[in-house]
Structure 1
Amino acid sequence: MKAKLRQACFSCAQALVCLSVVVMGIVMGTPANGQALQDVAPLPPYKFVRSLQYVQDSVVLGDHSAGEVQRHLLKIVDSSLREADKQIFEDERNVDAALIYAMSGGNPQTLAHLVERDEDGHFDRRLTDALTIYFSGAPEKAQPMLLKLLPEYSQTRIGAYMILVAANVTATRNEIEALNLFDRARLVAPGTIIEESSLRRATHIASRVGDIDRSLDNAERYVRRFIHSPYASQFVDIFVHAIVLHSDAADRQRIDYILSLMDLPRQREIYLRMARMSTIAGKEEIALLAASRAEALSGEKRDVVRDLAGFYAGIAKVPTSNITEAIEAMTSIPDHKLSERDLALREAAKTIAKQVTAPPDLTSLEELMVPAIAPAGDPAVRADAETEQGEEDPEASMHGSFMASKREKLMNIDTLLNEESNE
């Protein structure tokens, strides 16, 4: 039943591709079949915006073929708004359409153009001023203005969009309040791009404030509804980061259950990301667990997933006593099977592993001992220092010092890699 319903939605969205071509001709007054369409009245903007809303919702529900329709409709809506007679905004639906378009990824300059032409006060200048400030990149200034207007507009056609925008600007100041606003937005507009965006952002913010249970609640809702959204890759990054950041407090059975709601390729992808991020964060236990899960999901056949799982497991073992095994696992994978980032990660891990297994440098040991020797002329202090030195195993001290610092080195690997990729 679900498959038939989804197919029907896909067919509707695809039909809009053909319709939009005709619609563009109506809006722009271009010829069709060699004759001008002067006898066809242009459609009002609010009807185009309704189509845009439908297509955007179809996209986040998994119809990626509607993405091209969305881009096309954004152009159509923009043209219809810019070229519309001023009298058309006597209909409040068209005013709302302009505001929804601006808050749905449209060109904010179009809204500014309409407000500039508005001589009859169809647009609420309080709201358009707040949105203009928001679009200009100053959310902290727009936040109090939007929150003040929210009670007045929350039950209108633009209410859900305003709640979402208010949540976004509030997140920079009060993350708990922002979470409540994201909850309101998704409840007002279930099954829409507003809910998709709200759940994705709320998963991240709940993790940031340390509420891992709330983060997992939102993650589960997202997976059930929007895992096929084109924005799901962003969600996966957020989800993996939340799991690794709160690996000690997160319910692992709950995590496994959420992952079980996904298809196997997506599960393998997430487990591999968990393994990599945990390795860099120095969390060996979860890194090894995630790597083993990814390897198990790959089946018996040797493939890229199994290779990468073994690779991350090997790196994760560098901070443990299984250093020889770790080096063998890291070097067993051909270079062409690794990305540039993973190649750099392997080189960094190999360097650390070699430093751990290298014999101590006697010169360095002597330098390390110097601060422990008391100044001449104080035999009592010098005697105490010599006693402590006699009880200390210099090689064990160096090994322990290195082991304490290697996690920090691994955590800095991604930062270094990002710098290299930006050059």
Structure 2
Amino acid sequence: MISCRTIVIVLAMGIGAADAQQVDDASRPPYQMVRSLQMLQDQIARGDLEAHNAQPALLKRIGDSFLKVDASSWKEPRNSRAAVTFLLSGGAPQVIATLRARNVLNIDETIVDGAIAYVEGRTDDAKAKLAHIKPRSLPATLGAEIALVQSALVAQDDLKAAIALLDEVRLVMPGTLLEEAALRREIFIVGQDDDFDKFEALAVRYFRRFRHSIYAGNFRQRFALSVARFSFAQQPDRFPRLVTVLDHLDRSSQRGLYLLISRTALVRGKTEMALLAAERVTELTEEDSPEHLRARLYHAVARVATAGHGKAIAELERIDKTKLSERDVELQAAALAIGLNVRKALPEAAKNDDSISPKTVMRPRIDFSQSMAVVDHAQKLLDLSQQQLKETNR
């Protein structure tokens, strides 16, 4: 017996096998065509590259077929619901707009118009049309698709509402691409909401269930850039829990993330967090690797205004700047300048004021944002993640 996965991939690629021709029969009702699409997309969530490559062809074939379907077929509500699901699953909006113009769809026109507006990027129109739609009043698949759209539309203004909608998607569509997409989005939203407990639980769930997803690679990059912005990533007491989450990533992804966290912590004056992240990188790298060298740099920079500033300066001077990026060379130079000034100034400060203990004067807060133009550039790069968090494409 031919498997469902084989059927949808054969259909998408247009192979003329007898079984495929049967599946591609023009008389198939629209809801069955969309089921084929959903099965293919669920394979994508499991990491099937062949399914991913087949998706564009399948979307086009279904769209072409929809335009040939007899008008009487659209009187069946599940076929009309399938049209909206097709649209929100990557189908061409022109196809559904054509059906809408023919007035053949048997579904609330507000839902159709709102879905078309959303896909076409008309956010205000989509909000106006879909704001009062109750996802739970719809069958599970379409309700989950609408909830996913609504969460994207309200995320900038109401984090709690967006989170509740994504929770609903995960509840009703477990194991599907819809759950995978909901998890990816919700992880960043709860991070913005500074809910570390939920962030931790969702991230672990994603890495356990969907680490092989076709979209996981891009997700890890966004995750690395975004997590460094969250306030909890700068709290040393939560670091062990963050490590537990990141242990689900491959070592290369972990190294990149910890380096980003360490550098971001330096920018924000969170030296203890910078030290912890840098130390983690040294545990994950070989001594002669570029990542290990960067970790040594960040570790030393974090210590230039501590009681160990002498050793930190010596370490900074030992690091070969020819092996650093331009940004890190500037960081090294700025840290050395600050460190040398600290070493000169602190003894004089202590001599002139007996009320100041050595421990007090040896731990001023470093504000690199005032001393390095490069950090401004780094912060701008980090700010790009804010736009990435608004990404709505699955």
- Structures share a fold, TM > 0.5? yes
Distance 1:290 1:105 in 2: 39
Distance 1:143 1:312 in 2: 45
Does the residue aligned with 2:133 lie in a helix, a strand or coil? helix
Distance 1:316 1:308 in 2: 12
Does the residue aligned with 1:148 lie in a helix, a strand or coil? coil
Residue 264 of structure 2 corresponds to 277
Pairwise CA distance, 1:301: 6.2
Distance 2:77 2:279 in 1: 58
Distance 2:93 2:341 in 1: 64
Instruction: Determine if the alignment matches structure 1 residue 253 to structure 2 residue 266.
Output: no
Residue 48 of structure 2 corresponds to 63
Distance 2:80 2:177 in 1: 21
Residue 163 of structure 1 corresponds to 147
Distance 1:66 1:357 in 2: 55
Distance 1:111 1:128 in 2: 8
Distance 1:411 1:250 in 2: 25
Letter matched to residue 91 of structure 1: E
Residue 316 of structure 2 corresponds to 327
Distance 2:180 2:43 in 1: 11
Distance 1:418 1:249 in 2: 20
Residue 387 of structure 1 corresponds to none
Pairwise CA distance, 1:55: 1.8
Distance 2:303 2:94 in 1: 54
Residue 127 of structure 2 corresponds to 143
1:343-397 deviation digits (Å, cap 9, x = unpaired): 232133134135426779xxxxxxxxxxxxxxxxxxxxxxxxxxxxxx79xxxxx
Distance 2:116 2:144 in 1: 18
C-alpha spacing 1:13/1:352, structure 2 compared with 1 (3 Å): farther
Distance 1:121 1:20 in 2: 25
1:322-350 deviation digits (Å, cap 9, x = unpaired): 55245336535625xxxxxxx23213313
Residue 291 of structure 1 corresponds to 278
Distance 2:241 2:170 in 1: 22
Q: How does 1:307-322 map to 2 (within 5 A)?
A: 307-317=293-303, 321=309, 322=311
Identity of aligned residues (%): 29
Pairwise CA distance, 1:234: 4.5
Does the residue aligned with 1:58 lie in a helix, a strand or coil? helix
When the two structures are aligned, how many residues end up with a matched partner?
Answer: 361
Does the residue aligned with 2:156 lie in a helix, a strand or coil? coil
Pairwise CA distance, 1:150: 1.4
1:249-273 deviation digits (Å, cap 9, x = unpaired): 7633322222233443443343333
Contact 2:63/2:91 (CA < 8 Å) preserved in 1?
A: yes
Contact 1:61/1:229 (CA < 8 Å) preserved in 2?
A: yes
Distance 1:67 1:250 in 2: 41
Among 89, 104, 109, which residue is 2:74 paired with? 89
What is the RMSD computed on CA atoms of the aligned residues? 4.0
Specify every segment of 5 or more residues in structure 1 that has no aligned partner in the other structure, as ranges: 1-10, 27-31, 336-342, 361-390, 393-398
Contact 2:268/2:367 (CA < 8 Å) preserved in 1?
A: no
TM-score (norm 2): 0.76
Residue 347 of structure 1 corresponds to 329
Residue 85 of structure 2 corresponds to 100
Residue 395 of structure 1 corresponds to none
C-alpha spacing 1:81/1:153, structure 2 compared with 1 (3 Å): farther
Contact 2:163/2:190 (CA < 8 Å) preserved in 1?
A: yes
Contact 1:48/1:76 (CA < 8 Å) preserved in 2?
A: no
Residue 376 of structure 2 corresponds to 412
Distance 2:250 2:332 in 1: 34
Residue 369 of structure 1 corresponds to none
Pairwise CA distance, 1:98: 1.5
C-alpha spacing 1:124/1:25, structure 2 compared with 1 (3 Å): farther
Residue 205 of structure 1 corresponds to 189
Letter matched to residue 376 of structure 2: N
Structure scoring higher RCO (CA < 8 A, sep ≥ 6) equals 2
Q: Which has the larger radius of gyration?
A: 1
Distance 1:83 1:25 in 2: 22
Letter matched to residue 323 of structure 2: P
Pairwise CA distance, 1:41: 4.2
Q: Which 10-residue stretch deviates more, 151-160 or 88-97?
A: 151-160
1:66-122 deviation digits (Å, cap 9, x = unpaired): 21012222222222223433333223333222111111122223221221122x452
Contact 1:318/1:353 (CA < 8 Å) preserved in 2?
A: yes
1:268-287 deviation digits (Å, cap 9, x = unpaired): 34333333433343322222
